[in-house]
Structure formats: structure tokens, C-alpha cells
Amino acid sequence: MKTLLILRHGKSSWKEEGLADHERPLAARGKRESLRMGEELARRRLVPDLVVSSPAKRARSTARRVIKASGYAGELLLEPRFYLTDLGTCLAALAALPQEAGMVLIIGHNPLWEELVYHLTRQPVHLPTAALAVVDLPIHTWADMTSSGEGSLRLLLDPKTLTVSQNDI
């Protein structure tokens, strides 16, 4: 069994006109919500074995705040295949995750993250900024990620309300 924590980056800032999408920073709300989600991971005992983020600035900033607030002590890996990509490319990146990692937090973008949750669980979800989906996968190795619809959505958290829409653990 593997567990995938799928976190959409925090709310980004649009203050700087002409800034490339890849370089957009977090807004103040995005910073607060990222810290809150990290605290929630710690509170729910969902601190991952590994954290992997899109290289976009807003995703990296979200990752740093979640890491700090959750107490995660490992390194942050950046995965270019989580930015402006398709589902097949994303699944290939996930299949290459280190096998010793049982619970992995990935941080990236919509619409890919919503598509990924649907692919893994066959449950449509809405992931606003800084929202988290926890998916349990009946696999022994990350290389088995190509299967679809076999995972179960354990938990869905929205930082704005922290309303739980699945089983609260």
C-alpha cells in the first residue's frame, strides 16, 4: 500500500504584471494557507516520507511552508514533469518515485491535480488553491502507478474551511 498526498499550490499573486507564469509568487493568503495545511498534516499524522514539488515558484514556496509547519525533515525534490504537463507524463514521474517512500506529498497545479485524483480514484474532486487530496493506492511499488481507478480517496481538505469531505482520520 502506498499513499499519495496531492496538494495544489497556495494562492498565487498577480501583483507583478508581465511576470512569467513560472515565476509567480504566493499571495499573502497562499502563504497563510500553506502553513495551515502543513500544520494539518502534522495534526493528522500525515507527515510524508518524501516531498516532491513542481519547480514553479508558487509551488516551491508552498512546499517550503508545508515542510516547515508539518515537521517534515527530509529533502524537497523538484519535478519538472509536474509543471504544464499531461497526465501520462505525470504518471511516469510518479512511477519513478523511490520505492522506500510509502507516503509521498506532491505539490503542483490544476487542472492536472484534479485529473490525477480522478484517474486514480474515479471520483471527481474540486481542488481550490492549497487543497489536499489523500489517496490510498493498493500498489506495492510506485512503478504500478499506471493503473487507474483502483485508489481510494481517504480525505479531501480545503484550507479555507478545513471541511472534511471524506472519512476523517
**CB of 130 closer than 8 Å to CB of 33:** yes
Residues 6+ apart with CB under 8 A from 88: none
Predicted local distance difference test score (pLDDT) of residue 21: 66
| Residue 64 clears pLDDT 50, i.e. is over it | yes
For residue 102, give the C-alpha cell.
510509502
Residue 106 falls inside a structural domain:
yes
- pLDDT tens digits, 2-56: 999 999 999 987 677 777 767 777 989 999 999 999 999 999 999 999 999 999 9
Residue 167 falls inside a structural domain:
no
Stretch 129-152: mean pLDDT: 90
For residue 101, give the C-alpha cell.
517512500
Residues 6+ apart with CB under 8 A from 35: 65, 66, 68, 69
Give me the number of domains the chain comprises. 1
- pLDDT tens digits, 147-167: 677 899 999 999 988 744 444
List the CATH number of the domain containing 56.
Answer: 3.40.50.1240
